[in-house]
Amino acid sequence: MFKNYLKIAFRYLSRHKGYTFINVLGLSVGIACCILIALFVRSEWSFNRFHPNSERIYRAWLEEFYQGEIFRNTATPIPLVPVLQAGVPEIELSCRIASMRPPVKYNNNIFNEEVNMVDSTFFKIFNFPLLEGNKQDPFSTANSIVISERASKRYFGNESPIGKNLEVQLGDDNILFTITALAKDAPMESNIQFDMVIPFSNASYIWSEQTRNSAWSNVSVASFFLLQKGTSVENVNQKAATILQPLVAKNYKPGEYNVRMQPLEDIYFNTTLPEGERGYSDPKYSYILGTVGILILLIACINFVTLSVGRSATRAMEVGVRKVLGAERKQLVRQFWGESILLTFIAIIIGFLLALASLKHFNQLANRELFLSLNSFTLIFSVILILVIGFIAGFYPAIVLSGFKPIQVLKGKLNIGNNMGFFRKALIVGQFAASIIMIICTLTVGKQLNYLRNKNLGFNKEHVIIVPTNKPRQLGNALGKRYELAIQKNPKVISTTTSMFSMAQLGWMSLGYSDDKGVFRQFRFNAIDENFIPAMGLEVVAGRGFLKNNTADSNMIIVNEALVMQYGWKDPIGKKLPGKYPQQVVGVVKDFHFESLHTPIAPLVMALKPDSMFAYSSDVSYNASPQPRVSVRFREGNVQEHIKSLEAAWKTVAADENFEFRFLDEALAASYEQEQRLGNIVKYASFLSIFIACLGLFGLATLVVVRRTKEIGIRKVLGASVPRIVTLLSKDFILLVIVASVIAFPVAWWALSKWMEDFAYRIDIPWWIFITAAILALVVALVTVSVQAIKAALTNPVKSLRTE
Amino acid sequence: MIELQHISKWYNVGGKPVFILKDINLKVKEGEFISIMGPSGSGKSTLLNIVGMLDMPNEGAYHFFGESVYNLKDKHRNELYKKNIGFIFQAYHLIDELTVYENIETPLLYQNVKSSERKAIVADMLDKFNIVGKKDLFPSQLSGGQQQLVGIVRALIAKPKLLLADEPTGNLNTAQGEEIMQLFQQLNQEEGVTIIQVTHSEKNASYGNRIINLLDGRVEPSLQNASH
């Protein structure tokens, strides 16, 4: 029986090649999309889950209440880990991670490396396997260093790194480390990344003893805890509070200083806490892509159904005969379902091959290192796909066809599919609605991203490179000034400036204070030099910029319009911030976007000397490190050569330092990377969805035309012209696309408005995009249908009528 | 074997019933060879379909081997049908995607006959009807007469007691038609298969031993008597 079904399925599919081709192609493309998106979403959701104990690993975060404001930080005080480890029995192991980017030297090679200074429990808590060297005790001495495969390759090629010595700059010292072990690279789906790992005992080179032992207001390291099995996190939070209370009592009332545990698995998708070292991802993007994947698959399934329905007239005859031969309905149901599952199976194999072929491109698009292999995930995924698609796609033929009455079918009395039934119309409308939604979204997302890229930020971002000094403030400023001097004579350089943060850091420092009325206020802050405003092209709208060699300016500040507005100053020059700060406003700059366009422009203060500002602030927080950067504006021309000369100059002032640089415009574009990536993926997806929908439409048009051959013949005999016949045949389809548009518009508008909420600066969704999408879908549908219609209209009527 | 009592079938057109069959009473004994004749639209095919359990009347009773067909559950009726009735059509209705062999085998599949048994039965029949050489061909590769022969073999494969044929020679030329009729006669006389055929042709009807004339859904009484 089964063999018989299989045989007839194969024969049927090979006999109707066009039908099979359209069905399998549409479905394979849909499945390929779905596989790629599933891989991406899976990668998103598997972040930090590769540690066997990941469910028991927690990261501590700090919640401070100050003057009615809440401050959250994922960086924590250094003494937190030893204090909690000693006092909370539920903590099995704990580990501090201090991430740094110091220069590392081997022979004459210097690279800035991601170095994690960690407690020795690091390799016990986390799953970062050691491949070579002392796997049991990699931190036998304070000068041990573990290197990742990637970094090892950079320094030693294919040689074994074990026993080699590296010089790492910690604070002001260059320390010699000996490589004791080689570690596997951290997977991409990890918030903890490293090139090298050194013992935490080296902390003394960086932090004072006071900071290391008792500075509860300084946040410097990430703190991770492995809790005992079955531990209640609430319990640990409470114990931590009890232990910490006496230690912070001097500055905080009870309940104002809280340490809380956040599950490791929660870090990547939790957008409510500060980003920490590795950033997070909005789970929204997984949902959006997941929806897109399901939509495409649905469109492909609908193809399958509409085509089966179209063919049902032919299949009905077979159903009739089989019933006369004694077939029961359930046997026929099984046969049809078997057929659609077989077709799906073929499509899945092709889909996998397509996905495999496009994986490299998709990885670039999504910025991932996804790979496709035959593992339990892909197997289960395919089985589910086969069953779901086979079930959905085979539903109509299985249920409807098997119900036909044999007499009616065999007598030719059953009038099925001469016109498109309501069911099929609804399916086509659904397909086109989905496609139109995707086109609208693609166009609008593209436009919004374009707007972000081209929006006037209030400063000139072109032809600027940012060179970080990677040094603490005093040293960094000194180095920056030396470097500026070294390149000032360079004819390619227009201007230079050294500042704590450059325009490439999209989060500047945030300072908070209580004003004279006791109201807590916050503003953004940057320490700049007198060249910053002219070099960046900022516009001074009142007063003046900082002047060179004007010592009085050390006590002056420059603010932006947003700050003036917030304080309601009519004449801002000479004003002081209401409260403790002694600095006077000497100039006001026009608002510019020093943060990404996701957020509105915040009040800003800029000063030459930050220390006195810090001294009067009660809260200082920052995401980017406050190590000074040099911004260099250069002339247009051969960029590579410019960079070479800038690098040569760097070597004259900092021979031991790696020359790092970033183009400002690229750095700014990176802040919209996630949106850009999403936009690209949606673009491809909408193109494919239209393609699949058109395949289905083409198949359906073919069927309708074939079925109406006789009618067309008669109409031609009666004198109908070719255009009239084409119009007749296309009319129905056009109406469907119009109905689809009407459904798609509000859905697309709603989805886009939701997405746009993320941007403080956004375009109005232009109405013409809706019209464009509808017209696009209409034209594509019309072309598809017309090809068939014209062919039918040109056929000699004698031919079609004679066959009757 | 077959007993039809007061069988009527009608359609409602504009609230009025239009009769296709009206109060048909018919008894068929095992081993009979009956021809149903009558002009187009007289209800011949409908009567045949009702006898073949493919169609239901609006009124009346039907006993098949003493069992009241309309009081059976679907499953039992299907069982009764599968075991006892073979159908032959004017348009052959072979399945295009299956070979001669597979077409003939299909009824056995639906009766859950074991694979080895199926092979034996089909081989036997192919041999008997001299179409072994055609077994791997598809219907489109056969002539009309050959296709109808396959249709007959398919109808006979499950050894039915009743063979129903709806104008079996309607699409065939005279020579082919005659062969089919001789085959029917042979089946009826030598193997005792009860046959009911619908036909337009007096000549074909003469192969049988009884003729039922239908006119406007009724059995013509005069001729019915005459044939007795």
Q: How far apart are CA A220 and CA B24, in angstroms?
A: 101
A272 domain residue, yes or no: no
A252 and A299 housed in the same domain: no
Shared domain check, A745 and A664: no
Tell me the pLDDT tens digit for each residue of A89-121: 999 999 999 988 888 988 888 888 899 999 999
Residues in chain B within 8 Å Cβ distance of A331: 110
The reply to whether A572 and A475 lie within a common domain is yes
* Cβ atoms A645, A330 nearer than 8 A: no
Q: Does A317 touch chain B (CB under 8 A)?
A: yes
Which of B106, B119, B136, B159 is best to mutate for the A interface (most A CBs within 10 A)? B106
Is the pLDDT reported for residue A171 higher than 90?
Answer: no
Model pLDDT, residue A482: 93
For an interface test with B, the pick among A3, A19, A325, A335 (most B C-beta atoms closer than 10 Å) comes out as A325
Confidence of residue A275 (pLDDT cuts 50, 70, 90): low
A105 vs A703, which has greater pLDDT? A105
Give SS3 for B206: coil
CA distance B130 to chain A (A): 22
Q: Tell me what pLDDT residue B222 has.
A: 53
On the question of pLDDT at A598 being above 60, the answer is yes
Residue A296 forms part of a structural domain: yes
Q: Is residue A146 part of a domain?
A: yes
Mind listing the pLDDT tens digit for each residue in A364-409? 888 888 888 878 888 888 888 888 888 877 777 778 778 777 877 7
pLDDT at A605: 94
> Are A508 and A555 in a shared domain?
yes
Of residues A611 and A130, more confidently modeled:
A130
Identify the domain containing residue A570 by its residue range.
464-670
pLDDT tens-digit series, residues A146-170: 999 999 998 898 999 999 999 998 8
- Structural domain includes residue A207: yes
Show residues of chain B in contact with A325, CB under 8 Å.
87, 106-107, 110, 154
- The residue from A628, A653, A670 where one domain ends is A670
**Which segments of A708-766 does DSSP mark as H helices, in order?**
709-717, 722-756
What is the complex's ipTM, to 2 decimals?
Answer: 0.86
The predicted structure's pLDDT at residue B104? 93
Computed over every residue of chain B, the mean pLDDT equals: 89
Give the mean pLDDT of chain A. 86
Residue A428 within a domain: no
State whether A366 and A469 are in the same domain. Answer: no
CB-based contact A537:A525 (threshold 8 Å): no
Chain B neighbours among A 199-218 (CB < 8 Å)? none
Cα(A244)–Cα(A264) distance, integer angstroms: 22
For residue B56, the chain A residue with the least C-alpha distance is: A407
Higher per-residue pLDDT: A135 or A713 = A135
pLDDT 10s digits, A428-471:
888 889 889 988 988 898 898 888 888 889 999 989 999 998 88
Q: Is residue A422 part of a domain?
A: no
- C-beta of residue A20 within 8 angstroms of C-beta of residue A13: yes
Query: Is residue A773 included in any domain, yes or no?
Result: yes
Three-state SS for A149-168 is HHHHHHHHCCCCCCCCEEEE
CB pairs under 8 A between A and B: 55
Select the residue from B95, B154, B164, B166 to test the A interface by mutation, using most A Cβ atoms within 10 A: B95
Q: Does B102 contact A317 at a Cβ distance shorter than 8 Å?
A: no
Could you tell me the pLDDT band of residue A625, with boundaries at 50, 70 and 90? confident
B100-110 and A2-15 helices cross at what angle (nearest 10)? 140
Whether residues A96 and A17 fall in one domain: no
Q: Which of A186-195, A221-230, A651-660, B66-75 has the lowest mean pLDDT?
A: A651-660
Contact A407 B49 (CB under 8 A): yes
Report for A584-593, A704-713, B163-172: range of highest mean pLDDT: A584-593
pLDDT at A271 over 90: no
What value does the mean pLDDT take over residues A176-197? 92
- Candidates 3.40.50.300, 3.40.1440.10, 3.30.390.30, 3.30.2290.10; correct CATH number of B33-43+74-227? 3.40.50.300
Alpha-carbon distance B91 to nearest alpha carbon in chain A (angstroms): 9
Instruction: Please identify, among A650, A670, A690, the residue that sits at the C-terminal boundary of a domain.
Output: A670
- What is the arithmetic mean of pLDDT over A473-485? 91
Task: State residue A663's pLDDT score.
Answer: 92
Q: Are residues A642 and A684 in the same domain?
A: no
Name which of B55, B75, B97 is nearest A407 (Cβ-Cβ). B55
Which of A7, A15, A324 is the closest to B54 by Cβ? A324
pLDDT in tens, A751-791: 999 888 888 898 988 899 999 999 988 888 888 888 877 88
Do A335 and A409 belong to one domain? yes
Structural domain count of chain A: 4
What pLDDT is stored for residue B227 in this prediction?
Answer: 43
Q: Rounded to an integer, what distance in angstroms lies between the CA atom of residue B94 and that of residue B99?
A: 9
pLDDT at A420 over 60: no
Give the mean pLDDT of A6-29: 83
Give yes or no for residue A67 having a pLDDT over 70.
Answer: no
Q: Directed axis angle between helix B144-156 and helix B174-190, to 10°?
A: 20
Same domain as A625, residue A697: no
Confidence of residue A68 (pLDDT cuts 50, 70, 90): low
User: Is the same domain home to A38 and A80?
Assistant: no
Asked if the Cβ–Cβ distance from A321 to B94 is below 8 Å, we say yes
Give whichever of A334-343, A660-669, A677-686 has the largest mean pLDDT.
A660-669
From A321, which residue of chain B is nearest by alpha-carbon distance? Answer: B93
- Give domain status of residue A360, yes or no: yes
> Same structural domain for residues A401 and A309?
yes
Q: What is the mean pLDDT of residues A260-264?
A: 91
Question: Average of pLDDT values for A493-501?
Answer: 93
Give B40-62 pLDDT, tens digit per residue: 888 898 999 999 988 889 999 99
What local confidence, expressed as pLDDT, does residue B228 receive? 42
Least confident of A165-179, A356-370, A670-684: A670-684
Q: Is the pLDDT of residue A656 over 90?
A: no
CB B168 within 8 A of CB B180: yes
Please compute the mean of the pLDDT values over residues B116-122 and round it to a whole number: 93
* DSSP string across A397-449: HHHHGGG--HHHHHTT----SSS--HHHHHHHHHHHHHHHHHHHHHHHHHHHH
